[in-house]
Structure 1
Amino acid sequence: MPELPEVRTVAVFLNKKVANLSILNTECFFEKMIWRNEVNEFKKEVSNQKILRVLNYGKYLMFEFKDWMMISHLRMEGKWSVSPKEIDVYNKNHLRLQFELSNGEYLKYYDSRKFGTIEIWKKDDYLELSGMEKLGPEPLNSKPSFQYLKDKAAKSNSLIKAFILDQSVLCGIGNIYANEILFAANIHPERITKSLSDKEINKILKASNQILERAINLKGTSIHSYKSGDGEIGQFQNELKVHLRKDEECYECGSKIVKKQVAGRGTYFCKICQH
């Protein structure tokens, strides 16, 4: 599933391509992806809207209009592109939605597994109606504060791996970056969250900021199928320290990287470096 760096990369790409263009027509080839809106109502509200900008919050991609916000969640395999109608950047059989734009090009959404969703809400209440108001802060730009994370951690009996995957605590971290952050912070993924010291909480904050910012600079991690809007792959997979490195030597101590199910997710870590 695309995580914060991948969705940020897509948002930056789309913003360059479609900002200040208007949507003239909408074609939906898989109506179930239109989430919590009636299909005809969705098409009506989107029609003739000018896209002011494209941005993201965590894993959510947002198209901002004058009075509305259109929200896309890519889930496992969702991809956006901009191209002429007759050209498909991705597999044409996976095209689920397309918008005709005022410059003659098409904003297209592809999804091989059909898990992605899109919805539109008034700006006044989109956070509540979309459920985004429940999201925690993005761990970027020296956020969240130490005190915020310390207070959250002190109340949590969950494993730290589950804690940092909880989108209501930290928004945008998925399995890949959770594994990398915990390794960088030297924290075992099965530690009970409230056992963390102040120093360890600070290490998680620092590692989260550094790793996510580096991944954004490298346009994300392409492991299975992730590509940005122009079909370009990310490069952060070349810098992974533990994720997908089962039985390979740890770059720090030379012991073998372990893979284990933790909090229901495939978790990679070093038993020597993480404690």
Structure 2
Amino acid sequence: MPELPEVRSVARFLNKKVAGVSILKAECFFEKMIWRNSVQDFLNKVSNQKIISVSNYGKYLMFELSEQIIISHLRMEGKWSISKKEIDIYNKSHLRLQFELSNGEFLKYYDSRKFGTIEIWNKNEYLDKSGMDKLGPEPLNNEPPLKYLKDKAIKSNSVIKAFILDQSVLCGIGNIYANEILFAAGIHPERITKSLSDKELNNIIICSNKILEKAIALKGTSIHSYKSGDGETGQFQHELKVHLRKDEECYKCGSKVVKKQVAGRGTYFCLVCQQ
């Protein structure tokens, strides 16, 4: 599933291509992905609107229009691209939505698994009605403050892996980056969250910022099928220290990286380096 660095990379690519361009016509080829609106209502609302900007918050991609906000959650396999109508960067049979644009190009959404969702809201109501107001801060730009994370941690009886995957605590971290962050911070993924010291919590913040910023610079991690809007693969997979490295030598101590299910997710860590 695309995480914050991947969605940020897609947002930046799309923003360069479509900011200031108008949607002339919209076509939907898979109605179930439209949430909280009828398909016809969605198509009517987006038609003849200018795209002001494309951005993201955590794993959510947002298209700001003249009057509304489109929120796209890519889930497992969702992909956006820009191309001519007759050109498909991805498998044409996976095309679920397309916008004809005023610059002669087409903004297209593909989703092989059909798990992605798209919804549209008025600008003055999208935060609370979409549930995005319940999301925690993105761990970037020296955020969040230690006090924020400590207050959350004290009240939590969960393991730290589940805690940092909780989007209401930290927004944008998924399984890949959770594994990498905990390794970098030297923290065992099954530690009970409220047992962590201030130093350990602060280290999680520092490592989250460092890893996510580098991943954004490298346009994300391409392991299965993630690609940015132009079909380009990310490069952070070459920086992974533990994820997918079961039974390989730990880069720090030389012992074997282990894999275990923690919080329902495949978790890679070093028994020696992570305490």
Partner residue, 2:274: 274
The alpha-carbon deviation at position 52 of structure 1 amounts to 0.4
Partner residue, 1:79: 79
Partner residue, 1:249: 249
Partner residue, 2:212: 212
Unaligned 5+ segments in structure 1 are none
The alpha-carbon deviation at position 230 of structure 1 amounts to 0.5
* Cα-to-partner distance string for 1:34-82 (whole Å, 9 max, x where unaligned): 1111111101110111000000000000000122100000000000000
Partner residue, 2:155: 155
Partner residue, 1:89: 89
Partner residue, 1:173: 173
1:16-165 alignment runs, 5 A limit: 16-165=16-165
| Distance in structure 2 (CA, Å) of the matches to 1:23 and 1:31 | 19
| Distance in structure 2 (CA, Å) of the matches to 1:168 and 1:71 | 18
Paired AA for residue 228 in structure 1: S
| Distance in structure 2 (CA, Å) of the matches to 1:49 and 1:254 | 57
Check if 1:6 corresponds to 2:26.
no
| Structure 1 length-normalised TM | 1.00
Paired AA for residue 115 in structure 1: F
**In structure 1, the residue corresponding to 2:51 is in which secondary structure?**
coil
Paired AA for residue 6 in structure 1: E
Partner residue, 1:193: 193
Partner residue, 2:237: 237
| Distance in structure 1 (CA, Å) of the matches to 2:206 and 2:143 | 9
**In structure 1, the residue corresponding to 2:100 is in which secondary structure?**
strand
Paired AA for residue 93 in structure 1: S
Paired AA for residue 257 in structure 2: I
Paired AA for residue 88 in structure 2: D
| Distance in structure 2 (CA, Å) of the matches to 1:67 and 1:27 | 19
The alpha-carbon deviation at position 16 of structure 1 amounts to 0.4
Check if 1:226 corresponds to 2:197.
no
| Distance in structure 2 (CA, Å) of the matches to 1:156 and 1:33 | 34
> Contact 2:49–2:67 (CA<8 Å) still a contact in 1?
no
**In structure 2, the residue corresponding to 1:272 is in which secondary structure?**
coil
* Cα-to-partner distance string for 1:98-140 (whole Å, 9 max, x where unaligned): 0000011000000000000101000111011111111000000
| Distance in structure 1 (CA, Å) of the matches to 2:43 and 2:64 | 16
* Cα-to-partner distance string for 1:241-269 (whole Å, 9 max, x where unaligned): 00000000000000000000000000000
Would you identify which runs of 4 or more consecutive aligned residues in structure 1 move more than 6 Å?
A: none
| Distance in structure 2 (CA, Å) of the matches to 1:49 and 1:139 | 33
| Distance in structure 2 (CA, Å) of the matches to 1:113 and 1:165 | 22
**In structure 2, the residue corresponding to 1:52 is in which secondary structure?**
strand
Paired AA for residue 60 in structure 1: Y
Unaligned 5+ segments in structure 2 are none
| Distance in structure 1 (CA, Å) of the matches to 2:85 and 2:147 | 50
**In structure 1, the residue corresponding to 2:86 is in which secondary structure?**
coil
| Distance in structure 1 (CA, Å) of the matches to 2:66 and 2:112 | 31
